[in-house]
Chains A and B, each alone.
Chain A
Amino acid sequence: MNATPKPTNGSWSPSLVAFFCNWCTYTAADLAGVSRMKYAPNIRTIRLMCSGRVDPQFILDAFSKGADGVLIGGCHPNDCHYAEGNYKCLRRFRLIKRMVADLGIEEQRLRLEWISAAEGEKVKTVVNEMVDQLKALGPLGIPKQFAEWDAEMTRLEHAAQTSQSAESEVAHA
């Protein structure tokens, strides 16, 4: 309850995109709902059948479209509904984590958690914890950065074009 953010009314509040597996973590989030546990409203969940379905592109795409954090939830090791999808997820997660760090995105913005169908409480604590961390980190702002880069590119292209046309004018003269 403590971590539930106050109404934002225009001020910035982090957006957290979550990919939850159908069998464990999505069900755990349902359980949290049925048990009326309260957690931060910043989370937006996408249901997938298995954490193994989380394509690294989904994570990058979420960041690039404005997510301040990405949370992946899967079944505990050995509990995967599809035997081992969560291990495949973990393997990819380790790689993408390094890549994301190289892109300058803080480590805490990407998290993988094993949450079983019985652990509604864990959904609550993980989401609240992550939202608190994202608040401390501030906005990631990749779309804004992209917009700036695009503007710069346009400017450079424009400059290159004008200097080119100037050169050709010189040649003509």
Chain B
Amino acid sequence: MYIPKKHEPVRIGFYICHCGVNIASMVDVKEVAKYVGTLPNVVVSRDYKYMCSDPGQEMIQQDIIENRLNRVVVAACSPMLHEQTFRKATEKAGINPFFFQMVNIREHDAWVHTDRLEATRKAMALARAAIQRVPLHKPLEVKKVAVHPNVLIVGGGIAGIHAALVLANAGKRVYLVERDPTIGGHMAKFDKTFPTLDCAMCVLSPKMAAVGSHPNITLWTYSEVAKVDGYVGNYKVVVRRKPRYVLEDLCTGCQECVEACVYKEPKFRDEFNLGLGKRKPIRLPFPQAIPPVTLIDPETCIELKSGKCKKTCLEACGDRKAIDFKQQEELREILVGTIIVATGYQIFDAKRTPYYGYGVYPNVYNALEVERLINASGPTNGELVMRNGQVPKKVAVIHCVGSRDENTNRWCSRVCCLYSLKLAHLIHERTNAEIVNFYIDMRTPGKGMEEFYNRLSEEGMMLVRGKVADVYPDPTDGTTGRLIVQAEDTLMSRILKIPVDMVVLSVGLEPHPDSDKIRRLFNMSCSSEGWFLERHPKLAPVSTFTDGIFLAGCCQGPKDIPDSVAQAGAAAAECFSLIDKGHIEQEPNTAFVVEKECSGCKSCIPLCPYTAISLLEDKKKAYINEALCKGCGTCVASCPSGSIVQNLFEDAEVFSEIEGLLAPVPV
């Protein structure tokens, strides 16, 4: 490794990349190279078509050896893309990788400007700033930090379940945290899945059971992540476990307590069935719930409300002693190296489109409610009967409710066309009802989806291209609750008013209302819609801007089950990659105190968010613990005596950068 000798002359190599025509079409790269060649300390100055290519990197390495270069500056794309590439290349040729500086003339210059002369001037200024800065660079060493092998997965829907199983099957310890009392997510509510029409629960429940019994998975349902501290490889997470008043270790899931409850009949709104059914205060969310442990709702349980219940449930449980009315909320602290966020979505609240009468007319349902109605374990045991007890004879399915709509959500929710077709098919199958689908565009991308659409459209359902304007009660009808659906058939150019018994609203997918809170917890970014932002839309679709935190499933954007599962697998692989490597390399951009200049004023100490700074009592000098320092540089900017230095961002380096930026350029 090259260690510079004192007073050794600085010898800089400058390289400017054409990036094909990406840079060269807007920046006169030859002119920039010529200009930089005249600057002090520059020994070679070249331009090349693709600096990041092997020949480009070899050119740098050859120059380092032949021209005894000890500094390298490359003007190309964003440092986010290729800084590491060139650092490695310089290191291979024997000089410290931190003697390299990158100049961003693509994203910050060529791609955003339209005037070639001005863009060239800017490239010259940016290059000069780096040329003036780089002689001040010091040799630094990359810190290696061990990666904790345990993984936290947040969200127990199909994405979280799949990721947990992939990791646990390979022997990794997984903590799966789920907010609801059971895992399964939305998929557990579906009846059949498109395009194969296989039963959702039949494919899901074996995976749920595998999670429940897996020795490598710690499953914490009815729990939420309360706090996340630390950084990639070493996250300290606090999980809040809400009391379910039934001890998970002791409950066998026999449900005798449910049978024995003083409420003889289920009386309260059943959340799992979206209020279409009733439940008792003590209940199992649904028959296949994992863990198969009942829970008590403190809002409706007489004992928990007033302490004056006969507690027949306790009697029924008997020796198992699984019911504990005194159970308290618990906080558990865990250490993990990587985190997968798979918090899913919520369905669009159709009350936000009042013209469809959801919540006003009892025969207007959203699609998820219909999934429950036709599901054999649903509130009607799979018989499609409406709230008035009748079986519908004619049903309208309205697509794009809360999707592709300026007034609500602008995005396409991707799954609605297909699930609408599926529901239309299933309703027809169960009731022989006549179905009318109202769609804007029929979107059926993906493997087997177009074939599915063709097959179902041949079954004879009516497809009307047009957005429904209004749903209102049929004035000629007395009591049955019949509705008129008014829409324009845009292919026939006529207004339709179709009387139907039941309306199904194909509601879109949207981010959870607390996605902003979740994103802050994990230090992630959101798109303006509220979906979690991936690091790169194409090349890093499951990574986030925070190292060691990955995304899976619909929390990143609407997707169907196969895509959620694929993404979950990808996120698990990203975790593997970090765990199996065993360590991560940290930028050495930490700060340190120059002791002889420190006055011991202590003003830096409260500024550090990581409590990395302390006062050496004996010397009365500040001290920065390098292991805790994250390299933000806030203390550096605040030090009154200028005695704190940040590696890679030293004051002198920034000052020379400013000087270089503002120096006059020749064109």
Binding site for B on A (CB under 8 A): 1, 4-9, 13, 15, 17, 23-24, 27, 29-30, 32-34, 36-39, 41-42, 44-50, 52-58, 61-62, 65-67, 78-79, 81-85, 88, 92, 116-118, 124
In this complex, the interface size class of chain B, counting residues with CB under 8 Å from chain A, is: 35 or more
Q: Which residue of A lies closest to B113 (CB)?
A: A41
Chain A residue at minimum C-beta to C-beta distance from B523? A81
Q: Closest residue to B654 on the A side, CB-wise?
A: A58
Cβ-neighbour of A44 out of B125, B527, B655 (below 8 A): B125
CB pair B636–A46 under 8 Å, yes or no, is no
Q: In the complex the two chains form, is B662's CB within 8 Å of A118's CB?
A: no
Give the chain A neighbours of B126 by CB distance below 8 A.
44-45
Among residues of B, the one whose C-beta sits closest to the C-beta of A119 is B528
A/B pair count, beta carbons within 8 Å: 151
Min CB gap B624→A, angstroms: 14
A52 contacts which chain B residues (CB < 8 A)?
A: 632-634, 637
Q: By the criterion CB–CB under 8 Å, are B108 and A29 in contact?
A: yes
Question: In chain A, what residue has the closest Cβ to B115?
Answer: A7
Given the interface pairs A29-B107, A41-B115, the reply to whether A48 lies near B633 with Cβ below 8 Å is yes
Which of B115, B545, B655 meets A4, CB within 8 Å? B115
Bound-state Cα–Cα, A37 to B108, Å: 10
Interface centre among B113, B122, B658, B661 (most CB of A within 10 A): B658
Nearest-CB residue, chain B, relative to A9 = B117
- Closest A residue to B133 by CB, please name it: A46
In contact, B649 and A49 (Cβ under 8 angstroms): yes
Contact across chains for A44 and B119 when beta carbons are under 8 A apart: no
Measured in the bound complex, the distance between the Cα atoms of B638 and A82 in whole Å is 16
The reply to whether A53 and B662 contact each other, CB–CB distance below 8 Å, is: no
Query: Judging by beta carbons under 8 Å apart, are A7 and B111 in contact?
Result: no
Decide if B620 is an interface residue (CB 8 Å cutoff).
Answer: no
Which residues 509-538 of B sit at the A interface, judged by CB distance below 8 A? 520, 523, 525-528, 533
| Contacting residues, chain B, for A5 (C-beta < 8 A) | 115, 118
Q: Does B609 contact A (CB under 8 A)?
A: yes
CB-CB nearest 4 A-B residue pairs:
A33-B107, A53-B633, A52-B634, A82-B632
Contact (A30, B637) CB under 8 Å given A44-B126, A46-B654: no
Complex Cα–Cα for A50 and B649 (A): 11
A9 CA to B120 CA in the complex, in Å? Answer: 13
Apart from the given pairs A17-B658, A62-B658, A88-B638, 20 other A-B contacts in the complex at a CB distance below 8 Å: A23-B545, A36-B112, A38-B112, A38-B113, A39-B112, A41-B112, A41-B113, A45-B108, A47-B79, A48-B649, A48-B654, A49-B632, A49-B646, A52-B632, A52-B633, A61-B658, A67-B662, A81-B523, A88-B637, A118-B526
B528 to chain A, nearest CB (A): 6
**Candidates A6, A33, A49, A117; contact of B545 at CB < 8 Å:** A117
CB closest chain-B residue, reference A50: B632
Shortest distance between the CB of A40 and any CB in chain B (Å)? 8
Cα(A92)–Cα(B104), bound, Å: 28
In the complex, 9 of the A-B residue pairs with CB atoms within 8 angstroms, ordered by the A residue number, are A7-B118, A38-B114, A44-B125, A53-B632, A53-B637, A65-B659, A85-B633, A92-B637, A124-B112
A95 to chain B, nearest CB (A): 11
Partner of B107, one of A30, A50, A66: A30
A49 shortest CB reach to chain B, Å: 6
- Does B637 lie within 8 Å of A49, measured CB to CB? no
The answer, among B118, B632, B634, B646, for a CB contact under 8 Å with A41, is: B118
Partner of B520, one of A4, A24, A42, A78: A78
Report B492 CB to chain A, min CB distance, Å. 40
- Taking beta carbons and an 8 Å cutoff, which residues of B are in contact with A? 78-80, 104, 106-109, 111-115, 117-119, 121-122, 125-126, 129, 520, 523, 525-528, 533, 545-546, 589, 607, 609-610, 630-634, 636-638, 646, 649, 651, 654-655, 657-659, 661-662
Q: How far is the CB of A86 from chain B (nearest CB, A)?
A: 10
When distances are taken between beta carbons in the complex, the residues of chain B under 8 Å from A42 are: 118
Of B126, B631, B646, B661, most A-chain CB atoms within 10 Å? B661
Contact of B525 among A9, A46, A65, A118 (CB under 8 A): A118
Are A46 and B607 CB-contacts (below 8 A) given A30-B78, A61-B658? Answer: no
Residues of chain B contacted by A83 (CB below 8 angstroms): 609-610
Q: Which residue of A lies closest to B636 (CB)?
A: A53
Most central of B79, B525, B638 by chain A CB within 10 Å? B525
What's the Cα separation between A45 and B658 when bound, in Å?
9
Q: Select the residue from B78, B589, B607 with max chain A CB neighbours within 10 A.
A: B78
Contacts of B112 in A (CB 8 A): 29, 32-33, 36-39, 41, 124
Q: How far is the CB of B592 from chain A (nearest CB, A)?
A: 15
Contact A27 B80 (CB under 8 A): yes
Among B112, B545, B631, B655, chain A packs the most CB atoms within 10 A around the CB of B112
Kindly identify which residue among B525, B528, B633, B662 contacts A66, using a CB–CB cutoff of 8 Å. B662
Interface pair A62/B662, CB less than 8 Å apart: yes
Measured between beta carbons, the chain B residues less than 8 angstroms from A50 are 632-634
CB <8 Å contact, A116 and B649: no
Smallest CB-CB separation from B528: which chain A residue? A118
Establish whether residues B589 and A49, one from each chain, have CB atoms under 8 Å apart when the complex forms.
yes
The CA of A49 and the CA of B648, in the complex, are separated in Å by: 10
- Smallest Cβ distance from B305 to chain A, in angstroms? 37
A contact residues around B78 at 8 Å (CB): 30, 33
Q: How long is the Cα–Cα vector from A79 to B646 in the complex, in angstroms?
A: 22
CB-nearest residue of chain B to A38: B114
Q: Give the Cβ gap from B153 to chain A, nearest Cβ, in Å.
A: 23
A116 to B118, Cβ gap below 8 A? no
Check A4–B636 contact: CB distance below 8 A: no
Query: With A4-B114, A53-B632 in contact, do A118 and B637 touch (Cβ < 8 Å)?
Result: no
Given A44-B126, A53-B637, also A117-B655 (CB < 8 A)? no
Q: Bound state CA distance, A66 and B528, in angstroms?
A: 37
- Whether the Cβ atoms of A82 and B122 lie closer than 8 Å is no
Closest to A59 in B: B658
A62 to B631, CA, bound (A): 23
